[in-house]
Amino acid sequence: MQQEVNTVLKTSRNLKACQSAEELRCALKIAVRFDENLDMCDCYRPCTETTFEKTVSSRNWPNPAYATLMASAACTSNSSVCATLPDKNQYDLREEFVKLVIHYEDLNYEELTESADYELDQFLSDVGGTIGLWIGLSLLSLFEIIHLFTDVFLYICCAHRRRK
């Protein structure tokens, strides 16, 4: 593993891997269990979450003339760096330097809030309104029936009086 890291990084220095093979096996086992939903947990949603979109762009940097100047400046400030740069031409020196510039894509943010769709007070208000409507219709129907019986009674009484 250590040799692979040094080969990938193109260095002769003795760098050790960030993760051992045992750590990688453990991480892989956990990832498989997570994908198969074997390790289910009841986690709450985060209160705040920050995500960043990333885009990568690249170009050759520095130009060959500037690479030589940067190599001499690096040798002046740190002699151990100079040992890794011997006998490199201007174009090969470009592989030894990197310039990293981070830009924010935009400075806007989005705030998402959660709230109940149907609050308890709204529910009670709707139930009260419905009960009030039922009571109102029931009373109206009751008075209509009383009015009907009164009209029928008066008709029968008046018809009976007219016959006499």
For residue 80, what are the CA distances in angstroms to 62, 90, 94, 108, 125? 21, 19, 18, 44, 78
CA neighbor of 136 nearest in space, from 125, 147, 128, 126: 128
Domain boundaries, the chain: 1-43, 49-114, 116-164
CB 37 within 8 A of CB 28: no
108-142 pLDDT, tens digit each: 777 888 888 889 999 999 999 999 999 999 999 99
Residue 12 has a pLDDT of 57
Q: Which residue has the higher pLDDT, 69 or 45?
A: 69
Residue of 19, 20, 17 lying closest to 5 (CA atoms): 17
- What's the pLDDT tens digit per position in 140-149? 999 999 999 9
CA distances from 129 to 119, 123, 124, 138 (A): 16, 10, 8, 14
Of the listed ranges 7-21, 78-92, 136-150, the least confidently predicted one is 7-21
Examine the pLDDT at 51 and tell me if it is beyond 60.
yes
Which is more confident, 96 or 157?
157
